[in-house]
């Protein structure tokens, strides 16, 4: 059976459900404390796969196509306009020291979130949608618990979806663990990654938008990415400069 390519839609749908239903992701080892979390994941998988099939039936999407994060948000927003992508798509060369580079990118997301939303007005949920080797996952940081939870909707050998959780201070261990699992279950050594922050539409001030890109990697990575380009803003100190960004349409 061909593996579903609805993973980006599932990740966005799950972020929407957690935000909309105010789900608090507690200790994932305690099943009884996380029925709302499991229900949100189950329904997001149903919603994401159904929407992916519908887009295919409408000839808007090949069945084997994995949506980019903006495309998935646009598709989900037709029914659930709850989240928006804010902040950046980092293009990373992961051929060397993948875990450390993933950790750096995630910490960059968390730093942006903390600076964008100072306490005591910080929202509870920051979604970080992480695409590695055409597989999309949701990493959820919750302010009230200080925990980062990874939701991976893919099959893992004979097992189903995976959930992993660490305190934010142990983020390096989560990155190490995922890189090991990617090789064990999927036989992959990720070379490129895209990470984008998604937050509730209600929480975000649309007048302040910053995109960042490690341009040093473009020369090596651009050939492997799609040719979809758009304008974006890069924040350098106090100066906003107009740049160009390359982004994969099918990452």
> Per-10-residue mean pLDDT for the chain, 251 residues long?
71 90 83 82 88 74 68 77 65 70 85 85 88 84 92 64 88 88 64 79 52 35 28 26 30 21
For helices 69-77 and 7-20, the axis angle rounded to 10 degrees is 50
Q: Is this model's pTM higher than 0.75 or not? A: no
Which sequence spans correspond to the domains of the chain? 7-247
How far apart CA 227 and CA 32 sit, in angstroms, is 47
Of the candidates 197, 215, 187, the residue with the CA atom closest to the CA atom of residue 92 = 215
Class of domain 7-247: alpha beta
């Amino acid at each position: 059976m061909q593996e579903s390519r609805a993973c980006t839609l599932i990740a966005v749908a799950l972020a929407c459900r957690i935000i909309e239903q105010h789900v608090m992701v507690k200790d994932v080892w305690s099943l009884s404390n996380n029925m709302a979390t499991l229900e949100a994941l189950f329904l997001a998988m149903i919603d994401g796969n159904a929407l992916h099939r519908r887009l295919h039936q409408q000839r808007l999407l090949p069945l084997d196509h994995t949506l980019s994060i903006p495309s998935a948000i646009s598709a989900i927003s037709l029914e659930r306009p709850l989240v928006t992508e804010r902040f950046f798509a980092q293009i990373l060369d992961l051929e060397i020291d993948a875990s450390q580079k993933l950790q750096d990118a995630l910490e960059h997301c968390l730093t942006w979130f903390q600076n964008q939303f100072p306490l005591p007005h910080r929202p509870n949920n920051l979604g970080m949608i992480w695409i590695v080797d055409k597989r999309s996952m949701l990493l959820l940081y919750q302010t009230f618990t200080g925990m980062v939870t990874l939701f991976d909707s893919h099959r893992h050998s004979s097992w189903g979806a995976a959930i992993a959780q660490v305190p934010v201070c142990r983020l390096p261990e989560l990155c190490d663990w995922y890189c090991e699992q990617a090789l064990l279950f999927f036989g992959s050594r990720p070379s490129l990654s895209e990470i984008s922050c998604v937050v509730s539409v209600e929480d975000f001030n649309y007048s302040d938008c910053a995109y960042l890109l490690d341009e040093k990697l473009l020369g090596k990575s651009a050939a492997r990415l799609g040719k979809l380009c758009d304008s974006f803003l890069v924040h350098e100190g106090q100066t906003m400069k107009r740049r160009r960004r390359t982004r994969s349409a099918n990452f």
